[in-house]
Structure formats: C-alpha cells, structure tokens
Amino acid sequence: MSFSQALSGLRAAADNLGVVGNNIANAQTVGFKSSGIQFSDVYADSQGGLGTRVAAIVQNFNEGNLETTNRSLDLAVTGNGFFRFSQNNEVMYSRNGQLTMTNEGYLINASGARLTGYSADAAVGSQPEQLRIPSGGLQANPTNEILASFNMDARSPIIDRATVPFNLNDPDTYHYANTVTVYDSLGNSSSAQMYFTKVADNEWQVRLARDGELAPETGTVEFDSNGILAATNGLDDFTFNPGGGADQMNVAMNVAGTTQFANEFELNNLQQNGYTSGTLVRVAIEEDGSIVGTYTNEQSQVLGTVALASFRNMEGLRAVGDNSWLETADSGPAIIGLAGEGQFGNIASGVVEQSNVDLTQELVALIMAQRNYQANAQSIKTQDEVLQATVNLR
C-alpha cells in the first residue's frame, strides 16, 4: 500500500463530487444535459495496482421533460435535433430554445447567439443563415378573386331581360344579392355586391358592383337537370376603376359548389383574397419550424424556417457553456435538416425542455462519492499511522 493509490482515489472522488455537484447545480437549467464519470484502474507490469484514474466524463443526452410557458418564443425539440446558433463566426448547437427578438429582428438566446435557418425566399437545404424577422409591414393585396358558394332556389320565376333590364337599385330586377368587402391595390376597402337573376331554366345571370359602380361585364351560371353546377361563363374578369391612385381592379368569381335545388336561397361560403396593409404584431413558430408572422390586418405569413442539426455521435460534442456544444471529430459533422424529418424531431412552441438531471439519483451519487472520498482519506490516515509506528520502532 502506498500514498499514491489513496491520493489517486481522493482525486477521483473529488472529480466525481465535482461532476455530481455540477449536475445538481443545473437541475433547473433549461436544456441542460447531465454528465456521468467513468473510472479505470491503473496497473504496472511489475507491480500491483497503482490506484485509479478518471477514464471519461460522459454526457447523457436523454430528453428532459417539457415545461409549459405559453410564451411563443420558448421552443423545445422533441427528438434528437439541436437548435443551430451562430456568433462571432462560430457555430454552436443547443437544446435551449428560450429566444428573444432584437430590435434588428434577429432571434437570439441568452448569450446573444443568433438562431439560424432559412429565410422565406431561401432554398431549404442550402447553408443556413442567421434568421431575421422583417421589420416592415405586410403590403396590401388587392382582391382578384371572390369564392362564393350558394344554393339558388329552383322555384324562382324567370325574369326576362328583354322586358326587365337589370337595375341594381331595383330589387324586382333580380332574385338575390349579397355583399363582401374587397380591397384595391392601396388597401382601401369597399363593398362588392353580387346579384343573381334566374333568366332561363337552369340558367342564372350574375352581375357584380362595387360601392354602387356596376361592372360592365355580365356572367352566367348554368346547372344540369339535377341542380348541379354544369358551366360558368364570363365570371373570370369583372373590372372596376377605384380611382385615388389605385390600379384597376380585375375580379374573378369562383362559384364552385353552388347548387340549384328547390330550397330557399342559402349562402354556404363567401370569401375573397384581398386585404389591407398591416404591421407585425406577433411571431410564432410552428411544429415544422415555420416562423409565422401575424399582422394587424389578421393576415399571417411565413417569414422563415428554423434549421435543426443532428449528429452521428452526440456524446462526442464538446460542451462550451451556456447550454451549448461544438461539433468535434468524435461527434462527426452536423447533419442539417428541418423539424419533422427523420431523426430531427419536431419543434414545440410555448414550452421549454427541462434539465434531464434526476435529483434523487444525483443525491444518492453524492452520498456515494462522499463516502468514497472519506474512505480514501481514511486510507491515507491509516498509512500515516503505519509509517509512524515504523519510525517509532527501536
């Protein structure tokens, strides 16, 4: 027995205490991955054992539990993927998805590293770039299509246009009317009125007006003998001149699904594709990593996509603090992809991944490490007493 064996045991026990203590200290750290220590004995060919040494400190990349925060920029990966960040020309990877947005529109973590991915107009699969949310508003989109689905009452009497010309101000010259809000190229809203008149068996005339301005075009809708839509004519280009610097409006009507049965007139669906301009009020990230902006005009638009990374050997990653890792030769190069693909997993929004530290297990490990330390200290004390007894021999 020698002091060196006991000293190696003390050092190993102290290292073990440090690893366990670090795990316990980070039990509440979002995205933290616990570590475990591995030991090996030390032998020499001509001697007995020379003690012990730390063979490796291994990270445990098992997933932690998810904690709900209801904050749209709190993210977690449910799978083996990592968020990819860049800072000072260095790329790092993390499981901590607690993000904030800078004044410039970058999504950053607590250390200021910027989340990477693909902008809305970038090709997915290219080199990820720092994601930046556009600060500008959403441009107005003029209405160019109205989607409408009705039931026309087959019992309606025929109105002969040869004797009763259409007059939008005279309800006796048409059977039904409905209104939808439309938008010009400047985002100005106005009311579009649709008028339907039965002009022959199974045939209805369609007229469209905007704020009392009647479009010059006339369309028709035809049904078969079963009341099913058979044909439409002239519905693809109703024109208006809104003035005020706005472009001419060219509006098509899509009446797919419209029927003619002997029931009351019924509106089944009425939509249009225009909207006024809007400013960004909220950013959310979907399960597939899509970054969706919501605007004051109640429109949503995909602004980019979050990239994820995975590794052949996660345990080979090198921890650099701030819940981040760097790739190494042992981990292999990062494999870049999107949420929902293969091993990357999905992205959960409004939640964070808790530390995967098992406090009960770590407290037991702490007691064992402490006992081990005490035993090695006792070994040194015993050796000291033996040497002292030898010195005292006469």
Are 246 and 362 members of one domain? no
Are 222 and 262 members of one domain? yes
What is residue 247's DSSP assignment?
P
What's the pLDDT tens digit per position in 140-168? 999 999 999 999 999 999 999 999 999 99
What's the pLDDT tens digit per position in 301-347? 999 999 999 999 999 999 998 899 999 999 999 999 999 998 899 99
Cα separation, 145 vs 120, in Å, equals: 25
Are 159 and 179 members of one domain? yes
Are 175 and 255 members of one domain? yes
Neighbours of 147 (CB within 10 A): 16
**What ranges in the chain are assigned the alpha helix state H?**
3-25, 359-391
Are 284 and 376 members of one domain? no
- The CATH number for 256's domain is 2.60.98.20
Report whether 311 contacts 331 (CB < 8 A).
yes
Question: Residue 343 — φ and ψ, nearest 5°?
Answer: -85, 0
Q: Which residue has the tokens 């042992």?
A: 330
The model's pTM: 0.76
The number of domains in the chain is: 3
Sequence-ordered list of residues with C-beta below 8 angstroms from that of 306, at least 6 positions apart, any chain: 75, 83, 115, 117, 131, 285, 289, 291, 338, 339, 347
Are 360 and 378 members of one domain? yes
Q: Which residue has the tokens 């921890």?
A: 319
- What residue numbers bound the domain in which 91 lies? 66-137+279-353
Are 95 and 12 members of one domain? no
Are 99 and 159 members of one domain? no
Q: Which residue has the tokens 């345990």?
A: 315
Are 153 and 215 members of one domain? yes
Of residues 371 and 327, the one with the higher pLDDT is 327
**Rg of the chain, C-alpha, whole Å:** 36
Are 197 and 213 members of one domain? yes
pLDDT of residue 49: 65
Are 196 and 249 members of one domain? yes
Confidence of residue 379 (pLDDT cuts 50, 70, 90): confident
Are 159 and 261 members of one domain? yes
